[in-house]
Amino acid sequence: MKEISKKKTRTRLFTGLLILCSLSAFAFWIVGNQKETVGFFDVQMPTFYDGIPLDHYQVETLEVQPNQILGGLIGSFGVPTNKQYQVIEACRPVFNVRAIREGQTFRVFKDPITCAPRWLIYEPNAYRSYRIHLLDPVHVEEIARPVNQVIQQRAGVIESSLWNALVNGNIPSPLIIGLEDALECAVDFHHLQQGDKFRMIYEEDQLEGKRIGLGKIQAVEFVQEDSTYYAFYYEKDSIKGYYDFKGRPMRSLFLKAPVKFSRISSHFSHSRLHPVLKIRRAHLGTDFAAPYGTEILATASGTVIAATRSGGNGNYVKIKHNSTYSTQYLHMQRIAKGMRPGTHVRQGQVIGYVGATGLATGPHVCYRFWKNGRQVNPRREKFPESKPMPERYLPEFEAYRDQVLTSLRAIPYEPKVKKKVVETPKQEIVKP
Residue 431: pLDDT band (50, 70, 90) is: very low
Q: What is the pLDDT of residues 88-125, one digit of tens each?
A: 999 999 999 989 999 999 999 999 889 899 999 999 98
**pLDDT tens, position by position, 144-200:** 888 899 999 988 888 877 777 776 767 777 787 788 788 877 787 777 788 888 999
Radius of gyration of the chain (CA): 32
**What pLDDT is attached to residue 166?**
72
Least confident of 5-14, 221-230, 245-254: 5-14
CA dist., res. 267 & res. 431, Å (int): 44
Using pLDDT thresholds of 50, 70 and 90, give the confidence band for residue 10: low
Let me know: does 58 contact 105? Beta carbons within 8 Å: no
pLDDT of residue 32 exceeding 60, the answer is: no
pLDDT of residue 39: 41
The whole-number pLDDT of residue 218 equals: 94
Reply yes or no on whether the pLDDT at 40 is more than 50: no
Please report, rounded to a whole number, the percentage of residues in the chain having pLDDT higher than 90: 41
What CA–CA distance (Å, rounded) separates 36 from 30? 6
Q: 16 pLDDT exceeds 90?
A: no
pLDDT, position 204 = 92
pLDDT score of 341: 96
Which pLDDT score, from 0 to 100, does residue 277 have? 60
Strands 58-63 and 325-335: unpaired
Pairing status of strand 295-297 against strand 350-354: antiparallel
**Average predicted confidence (pLDDT) for the chain:** 82
Q: What is the pLDDT of residue 274?
A: 59
**Backbone angles phi and psi of 345, in degrees to 5:** -120, 150
Confidence of residue 253 (pLDDT cuts 50, 70, 90): confident
Which pLDDT belongs to residue 276? 59
pLDDT of residue 419: 40
Quote the pLDDT of residue 422.
40
Domain parsing of the chain, residue ranges: 48-144, 147-248+388-432, 263-377
Can you tell me the mean pLDDT for 50-64?
87
With cut-offs at 50, 70 and 90, classify the pLDDT of residue 56.
confident
Instruction: Label residues 42-80 b or e (16+ Cβ within 10 Å = b).
Output: eeeeeeebeebeeeebeeeeeebeeebebeebbeebebe
pLDDT of residue 41: 43
Helix H, strand E, coil C: the string for the chain is CHHHHHHHHHHHHHHHHHHHHHHHHHHHHHHHCCEEEECCEEEECCCEECCEEHHHCEEEEEECCCCCCHHHHHHHCCCCHHHHHHHHHHHCCCCCHHHCCCCCEEEEEECCCCCCEEEEEEECCCCEEEEEECCCCCEEEEEECCCEEEEEEEEEECCCCHHHHHHHCCCCCCHHHHHHHHHCCCCCCCCCCCCCEEEEEEEEEEECCEEEEEEEEEEEEEEECCEEEEEEEEEECCEEEEECCCCCECCCCCCCCCCCCCEEEECCEEEEECCCCCCEEEECCEEEECCCCCEEECCCCEEEEEEEEEHHHEEEEEEECCCCEEEEEEEEEEECCCCCCCCEECCCCEEEEEECCCCCCCCEEEEEEEECCEECCHHHCCCCCCCCCCHHHHHHHHHHHHHHHHHHHCCCCCCCCCCEEEECCCCEEEEC
Q: What is the share, in percent, of the chain residues with pLDDT greater than 70? A: 80
Predicted pLDDT of residue 279: 62
| pLDDT computed for residue 26 by the predictor | 47
pLDDT at 7: 52
Output 264 or 334, whichever has higher pLDDT.
Answer: 334
CATH architecture of structural domain 147-248+388-432: Roll (3.10)
At the second CATH level, the architecture of 263-377 is: Distorted Sandwich (2.70)
38 pLDDT above the threshold of 50: no
- Distance, CA of 339 to CA of 328 (rounded, Å): 13
Domains 48-144 and 147-248+388-432 share a fold: yes
CATH among 3.30.420.40, 3.10.110.10, 1.10.357.10, 3.10.450.350 for 48-144: 3.10.450.350
Most confident of the following: 36-50, 125-139, 255-269: 125-139
**Residue 281 pLDDT exceeds 70:** no
